[in-house]
Chain A
Amino acid sequence: MDTLIAWILRAIPFGTIIMYGALGEIITEKSGNLNLGVPGIMYLGGFAGFASAYLYENSVAEPNMVFCVALALFCAFIASMLGGLIYSFLTISLRANQNVTGLALTTFGMGVANFFGVFILDGRTATQSLVYKTFQTKLPVLSRMGVIGQTVFGYGFMVYAAVILAIILHHVLSHTRTGLNLRAIGENPATADAAGISVTRYKYLATCLGAGISGLGGLYYVLDYNQGIWATTGQIEALGWLAVALVIFTTWKPLNAIWGSYLFGMLYWLYQFLPTLIGFSVPGYITDLIQMVPYLVTIAVLIVTSLRKKREDQPPASLGLAYFREER
């Protein structure tokens, strides 16, 4: 039982990182843009959030932690949106290839975060921002109410924010005109255009907002999951690709991202807890194989959806294609 609890306590924060990444990417892909720059964007968000918090902490005698959290969120969002803006400008206005632009953005974002990150590290291997304590603040009473309190209420606010965000996005996509228009653009931009919807504006907004949301995943990773420690690693990149996988797994539905991300989290940490759960030890190499599972599951989902050809589960029909209003 304790193992299971420990497992859940690991899986949910892990899932939260990629949930942000995936929610942002769902919005982006719903507009028909396949942004493979998610890892780069998460780097941008993670670094901008960390750097702003760290610099604020170290420049003020008595930092206000609530302000610090807000500042980190704001900076992470803006920096990620700028990444999305570069992508949008190149792919929407200049009609550059989406895949290639996304990959270049990943390189760029990773470069920017790590390049400037080294200035902050200033020779150390890692630095820590104390704002993580605020990020990790749990609900005062509920989190102490036994097992349920621990596993359901025992996390920082961004875990709940992610769930709320998923629900809001679901509502927006399914029950508002904005969502309807956005989905129409991803499916058939020419028809949406004929209906008087501004395809370009929607694509820009969806891609930039989506990038902003994805970037929060990077922020959450650094300032909560990783205890506010910034170090130069490739970890965020792997998380970014996992977020892209999660988008496929959810079949482009935000509500599925909630349980999907936790499932991915469980699968990711399977290697550490499964041995204790089933009672005998497993050699290290098996754990590597187990870490493969999220990707295998995603591939399976990809194959099954293309096999069943159920229209609701397919990628947006115009995903990856630039829209060009043909003139005779």
Chain B
Amino acid sequence: MAGNHEPLMRVVKRGESPFKLKLLVRLIAVLMALIVDALFIYFVTGLNPLVVYTTMFKGTFSTPMRFSWAMRDLASLLLIGIALAPAFKMRFWNIGAEGQVLMGALATAAVMVYYGGKVPNAVLYAAMLVAAVFAGALWGFIPGWFKARLGTNETLFTLMMNYVAIQLVACCVNIWRGQASGLGKLNMKSKAGWFPQLFGQRYNINLIVAALLVILMYCYLRYSKQGYEIAVVGESENTARYAGINVGKVIIRTMILSGALCGLTGFLIVGGRDQTISTTTAGGNGFTAIIVAWLAKFNTFYMALISFLLIFLEKGAGEIASAYNLNDFASDIIAGIILFFILGSEFFINYKPIFRTGRHETLSKEAA
């Protein structure tokens, strides 16, 4: 029959790709993305992209303060990425990090508002932490429970939970600000619940926690029994049942953990970075972190690397914006293009295109 020849190109799944290939494919992807970004910069601004790229470095590296701010923002993004890692490793699409972080932040702020100055600082910190972790865990538990018991679609459920959280925050902010136009910093005078300064900045505590969690989460996923269960459930529920793993229990437990860590992030953001709360406290990091966690394939060290890349781009774009009278939304575009390329490049890692070679099929001998 006409038009039904063997296709020009077909693809087969690769078994496992060698590390070199993975690295090469990703490097090419980033390189191509940078070229596309350069073209974009050139056509929009008429500037020499190389000069512009050098300017980008200044965003993060020009002064110690800049670097410190970059690290601060890196900590927020990375913490959420770490929180998402166990859920994603289990193939549970937790799109609700934004809401879970907000709930943690809200609980923290509530403790600060109602108990700030009334109890000793140590007790206050403990209460903030516990409240935040509990609130985040609850926000993770709810979709986790419905997924485990009823099979409710977790992607859509967690997505909706974000907006419930946002409205809750809006409501509380509304109450707390009273007649004022904005909320301002909480406990401005007493500074109750504010993190102490460490090396000159309150948010340095966040950085330390993030660094610690990178290692802890890596170990949890890699060495603990629970981490092992998560890996088995994520790979095949059938195998998990064969091994005697209670799949529902693992799903619920892991979502509580993921939510709790998001809540912890909320606590750190409020106590260490913002000292206040708003609906934008998570600032979209809950979504960006999903991309971070996915691209890093749940390895927390890769997460740190990818988070850094994204923060670097954001800061760099901000620098370009002020240097050339543009605006910092450029960073969204540049980051978007890079993400598209990296996402697309996964294909060449997982699949192998085979081109038509005539009548005989060259059934590939996979590099074993």
Contacts of A93 in B (CB 8 A): 347
- Shortest distance from the beta carbon of A290 to any chain B beta carbon, whole Å: 9
Task: Verify if A36 is at the interface (C-beta below 8 Å from B).
Answer: yes
In the complex, the answer to whether A90 meets B343 with C-beta atoms within 8 Å is yes
Interface residues of A in 257-272 (CB under 8 A from B): none
Cβ–Cβ contact B291 & A104, under 8 A: yes
Contact B163 A302 (CB under 8 A): no
Cβ-closest chain A residue relative to B170: A288
Verify if A99 is at the interface (C-beta below 8 Å from B). yes
- Whether A288 and B171, one on each chain, are in contact in the complex, defined by CB atoms closer than 8 angstroms, is yes
Report A-chain residues with C-beta under 8 Å of the C-beta of B163: 238, 241-242, 245, 292, 295
A295 touching B160, Cβ below 8 Å: yes
Docked pose: A302 CA to B174 CA in angstroms:
29
CA distance A285 to B170 in the complex (A): 7
From 327 to 368 in chain B, residues with beta carbon under 8 angstroms from any chain A beta carbon are 327, 329-333, 335-337, 339-340, 343-344, 346-347, 350-351
Among A72-80, A108-116, A142-150, A187-195, the one that faces the other chain is A108-116
The CA-CA distance from A239 to B232 in the complex, in Å, is 38
Q: Which of B13, B146, B290, B333 contacts A99 (CB 8 A)?
A: B290
With a CB–CB cut-off of 8 A, which chain B residues contact A288? 167-168, 170-171, 174
Which residues of chain A from 77 to 102 have a CB within 8 Å of any chain B CB?
Answer: 86, 89-90, 93-97, 99-101
- Say if the beta carbon of A214 comes within 8 Å of chain B: no
Which residues of chain A are near B155, meaning CB under 8 Å?
34, 99, 320
A292 contacts B164, C-beta separation under 8 Å: yes
A299 within 8 A of B: yes
Pick from A94, A110, A306: contact of B152, CB under 8 Å: A306
**Complex contact B164–A299 (CB within 8 A):** yes
Inter-subunit contact B287/A303 (CB<8 Å):
no
CB under 8 Å from chain A, chain B span 5-22: 10, 12-13
A118-B321 Cα distance, complex, nearest whole Å: 11
Name B's interface SS: helix
CA distance A96 to B156 in the complex (A): 19
Residues of B within 8 Å of A213, CB to CB, are none
For residue B333, which residues in chain A have a CB less than 8 angstroms away from its CB? 108, 111-112, 115
Name B174's contact: one of A248, A285, A295, A320 (CB within 8 Å).
Answer: A285
**Which residues of B are found within 8 Å of A315, using beta-carbon distances?**
153, 156
B16 to A: closest C-beta gap in Å = 17
B residues 207-236 with Cβ under 8 Å of A? none
Q: In the complex where A285-B175, A292-B164, A299-B164 touch, is A115 in contact with B152 (Cβ < 8 A)?
A: no
Do residues A327 and B12 form an inter-chain contact, with CB atoms below 8 A? yes
Contacts of A296 in B (CB 8 A): 164
A320 to B350, CA, bound (A): 18
Is A103 an interface position by the 8 A CB rule? yes
Q: Is B151 an interface residue (CB 8 A)?
A: yes
| Contact-size category for A | 35 or more
Q: Is the CB of B340 within 8 A of A90?
A: yes
- List the B side residues contacting A244 at CB < 8 Å: 156, 159
> What is the bound-complex CA distance between A317 and B301, given in angstroms?
35
Contact indicator A115/B330 (Cβ below 8 Å): yes
B14 to chain A, nearest CB (A): 12
Tell me the bound Cα distance from A118 to B134 in angstroms. Answer: 42
For the complex, count residues of B whose C-beta is within 8 A of A: 51
Considering the chains assembled together, what is the distance between the CA atoms of A320 and B344 in angstroms? 17
CB of B24 closer than 8 Å to a CB of A: no
Output the least CB separation between B176 and chain A (Å). Answer: 9
Nearest-neighbour CB distance to chain B for A100, whole angstroms, equals 5
- Interface flags, A273-304, vs B, CB<8A=1, else 0: 00000000001111011011001101100110
Chain B CB within 8 A of A106 CB: yes
List the A residue with the shortest CB-CB distance to B345.
Answer: A94
Q: What are the residues of chain B within 8 A of A285 when measuring CB–CB?
A: 171-172, 174-175
B332–A111 touching, CB < 8 Å: yes
- How many angstroms from the CA of A107 to the CA of B340 in the assembled complex? 11
What residues of chain B lie closer than 8 Å to A118, measured between beta carbons?
326-327, 329
A241 adjacent to B159 (CB under 8 Å): yes
Candidates A241, A284, A302; contact of B153 at CB < 8 Å: A302
CB under 8 Å from chain B, chain A span 178-224:
none
Residues of chain A lying within 8 A (CB to CB) of residue B105: none
Q: Judge whether B161 is part of the interface by a CB distance below 8 angstroms.
A: yes
B51 within 8 A of A: no
Which residues of A sit under 8 angstroms from B121, Cβ to Cβ? none
**A residues 103-150 touching B (CB-CB < 8 Å):** 103-112, 114-115, 117-118
Interface presence of B95 (CB below 8 A): yes
| B residues near A99, Cβ cutoff 8 Å | 93, 95, 155, 290, 294
**Is the beta-carbon distance between A106 and B153 smaller than 8 angstroms?**
no
Bound: A286/B330 CA distance, A: 37
Interface residue? B68 (CB, 8 A): no
Interface contact B152-A107, CB-CB below 8 Å: no
- Distance in Å: Cβ of B138 to nearest Cβ of chain A: 14
CB proximity of B201 to chain A, nearest CB, Å: 28
Q: Which residue of A lies closest to B310 (CB)?
A: A107
Task: State whether A104 and B150 are in contact (beta carbons under 8 Å apart), knowing that A94-B346, A97-B294, A302-B160 are contacts in the complex.
Answer: no
Instruction: List the 4 shortest-distance A-B pairs measured between CB atoms, nearest first.
Output: A111-B332, A108-B336, A292-B167, A288-B171
A-B contact list, 14 entries, CB within 8 Å? A94-B344, A99-B93, A100-B294, A107-B339, A111-B330, A115-B333, A244-B156, A288-B171, A289-B168, A296-B164, A299-B160, A303-B150, A306-B150, A306-B152
| Residues of B participating in the A interface, judged by any CB pair closer than 8 Å | 10, 12-13, 93, 95, 146, 150-153, 155-157, 159-164, 167-168, 170-172, 174-175, 284, 287-288, 290-291, 294-295, 326-327, 329-333, 335-337, 339-340, 343-344, 346-347, 350-351
Known A95-B346, A111-B335, A118-B329; 19 more pairs at CB < 8 Å: A95-B351, A96-B344, A99-B155, A104-B336, A107-B287, A107-B288, A108-B332, A115-B327, A115-B333, A118-B326, A232-B329, A238-B163, A245-B160, A288-B170, A295-B161, A299-B157, A306-B152, A307-B150, A324-B13
